Amino acid sequence: MNYALLFSVFVIASCGLAYELIAGALASYLLGDSVTQFSTVIGSYLFAMGIGSWLSRYIDARLVERFIQVELLVGVLGGFSAALLFFLFTWSSAPFRLLLYLTVFGVGVLVGLEIPLVMRILKRDLVFKEVVSQVLTFDYLGALLVSILFPVLLVPHLGLIRSALLFGLLNVAVALWAWWLFREQLPGATRLRSQAGISLLALLAAFAAAGELTSLAETQLYADEIVHAESTPYQRIVVTRWKDDLRLHLNNNLQFSSRDEYRYHEALVHPGLATLPKARRVLVLGGGDGLAVREILKYPQIESVTLVDLDSAMTSLFASAPPLRKLNQDALRSPKVTVINADALQWLEDNDDTFDFVVVDFPDPSNFSLGKLYSAAFYRLLDKHLNGDALAVIQSTSPLYARQSFWCIVTTLESVGLITAPYHALVPSFGEWGFVLAGRRTYRPPRAYPVDTRFLNAETTPGLFVFPADMARLEAEVNQLNNQVLVRYFEREWRQVIR
């Protein structure tokens, strides 16, 4: 019986950490800035566990019954937490933060009650030092297991909603196990069994319908029909369609609309590459949708394109789904293209290859894991991979809506000795959008474009490099790995736009 209870400690420790990770991941998916979200969620959760542990002192009698009831409450609240929070966000993001922390606090208090109750139950048959050592050992082992499984197995294959429901079921299973072990000693055994049965059926029904629940929530979140949705270890990928308009969303942020993405990708690639008639080898960092590669392959002299994108699910999707292949004109299947799924910063550190043109097409620096890809350290590495007259182009968010963020990127590039040529273009889905060309020489716009373009022409290109007063240069700090000032600029500026 004691070993059964100790194994239950292993399970409830796994569940407790899982709810914490799910809340942090969901908050970072929906609100951005993963460091802030995980930090505040973990801090609130640990504080609530302390409150729960303190409250356990007031439970003096019927310890097993109270333990079973706590397990059922944790299972139901924790199990339904992700679905509840997701649906609330689709309804209105205003009370989302409040309910997020109330949910985290409620689950934390209940989890804080669990271990003291188990220890007091075990104390009947074990000496105190054995109780403490064995309970804490199983507690830490459970936490280790779920911390490994969460990013590798649970999120990619089950998603956040189904993962939360799975751990809710495990908590209810522990409650049923405890009921079975102590059923002869429980005064309210029948009532507890009924409560556990109702909880189990509710969680099982929700788990079976989790796909429909996720689709329903995302249908409310996205105005258009969802044609593809999946969670990967790195992001939530959603593709929507309205009539002939396909849209890609990563972690709830729009990445492109097929109706005007050509403006963005032409502006990203051609002002630089059109000035490099001798360019043969091109590197693309990010850009797993293959749309920048499509534009690069218009140049017949290009011999090879190396695409480095972190998420294999992203590159596989855009190399296999017929509507997306049509959009990128099968760029990712071209024999000239090599797709590498790796962290761009690490790949630059591990490789010595140099290139004639580099496209840096990362998502905006909305969190610290992305902010490192806009840092001085990253640009210093990038410089080492440029051939003598090579150019790099960096997508650099909006100089209108995130003005200081844009000029921070320019300042950071210049801090490593690169000569910059900032410019902007109007992309209706985004508004005014910014780019920066960087290299070791002064840039001159092309006198003509040697490939077909729908948006750009040689006559209007010089105007892209002129900034009106409301987008003119601002003072900004260099974005270093140890300060990530760009992420703070970006979060502040876009929060003001949303308001």
Give me the pLDDT at residue 92, please: 58
Give me the pLDDT at residue 128, please: 47
pLDDT score of 434 more than 80: yes
Question: In terms of CATH architecture, what is 261-498?
Answer: 3-Layer(aba) Sandwich (3.40)
Give me the pLDDT at residue 218, please: 64
pLDDT-based confidence at 138, cuts 50/70/90?
Answer: low
Q: Is 224 among the catalytic positions?
A: no
Q: Can you tell me the distance from the alpha carbon of 495 to that of 499, in angstroms, rounded to the nearest whole number? A: 6
pLDDT-based confidence at 380, cuts 50/70/90?
Answer: very high
Q: Which residue type does 288 have?
A: G
pLDDT score of 159 more than 60: yes
Structure tokens at 76: 């139901």
Give me the pLDDT at residue 498, please: 57
> For the segment 294-345, what is each residue's pLDDT rounded down to a tens digit?
999 999 999 999 999 999 999 999 999 999 999 999 999 999 999 999 999 9
In the chain, % of residues over pLDDT 70: 89
Catalytic annotation, pick one of 33, 139, 361, 383 = 361
> For the segment 65-105, what is each residue's pLDDT rounded down to a tens digit?
888 889 899 999 999 988 888 777 766 555 778 888 899 99
Q: What is the mean pLDDT of residues 376-390?
A: 94
Give me the pLDDT at residue 326, please: 96
Give me the pLDDT at residue 240, please: 92
pLDDT score of 176 more than 90: no
Q: What is the mean pLDDT of residues 412-421?
A: 97
Give me the pLDDT at residue 36, please: 74
Structure tokens at 226: 């969802």
pLDDT-based confidence at 127, cuts 50/70/90?
Answer: very low
Q: What is the mean pLDDT of residues 452-478?
A: 96
Q: Which CATH class is domain 2-219?
A: mainly alpha
pLDDT score of 272 more than 80: yes
pLDDT score of 412 more than 90: yes
Domain extents in the chain: 2-219, 222-255, 261-498
Which letter, b or e, does each residue of 455-493 get, where b requires 16 or more Cβ atoms within 10 Å of its Cβ?
bbeeeebeebeebeeebeeeebebbbeeebbbbbbbbeb
pLDDT-based confidence at 422, cuts 50/70/90?
Answer: very high
pLDDT-based confidence at 220, cuts 50/70/90?
Answer: low
Q: Please tell me which of 60-64, 119-123, 129-133, 284-288 the model is most confident about, judged by mean pLDDT.
A: 284-288
> For the segment 14-40, what is each residue's pLDDT rounded down to a tens digit?
888 888 888 888 777 777 656 677 788
Closest CA to 204 of 169, 247, 158: 169
Give me the pLDDT at residue 423, please: 98
What secondary structure, in 3-state letters, does the chain show?
CHHHHHHHHHHHHHHHHHHHHHHHHHHHHHHCCHHHHHHHHHHHHHHHHHHHHHHHHHCCCCHHHHHHHHHHHHHHHHHHHHHHHHHHHHHCCCCHHHHHHHHHHHHHHHHHHHHHHHHHHHCCCCCHHHHHHHHHHHHHHHHHHHHHHHHHHHHHHHHHHHHHHHHHHHHHHHHHHHHHHHHHHCCCHHHHHHHHHHHHHHHHHHHHCHHHHHHHHHHHHCCCEEEEEEECCCCEEEEEEECCEEEEEECCEEEEECCCHHHHHHHHHHHHHCCCCCCCEEEEEECCCCHHHHHHCCCCCCCEEEEECCCHHHHHHHHHCHHHHHHCCCHHHCCCEEEECCCHHHHHHHCCCCEEEEEEECCCCCCHHHHHHHCHHHHHHHHHCEEEEEEEEEECCCCCCCHHHHHHHHHHHHHCCCEEEEEEEEECCCEEEEEEEEECCCCCCCCCCCCCCCCCCCCCHHHHCCCCHHHCCCCCCCCCCCCCHHHHHHHHHHHHHHC
In the chain, % of residues over pLDDT 90: 52
pTM score? 0.72
Closest CA to 34 of 219, 236, 315, 221: 236
Q: What is the mean pLDDT of residues 438-442?
A: 95
pLDDT-based confidence at 133, cuts 50/70/90?
Answer: low
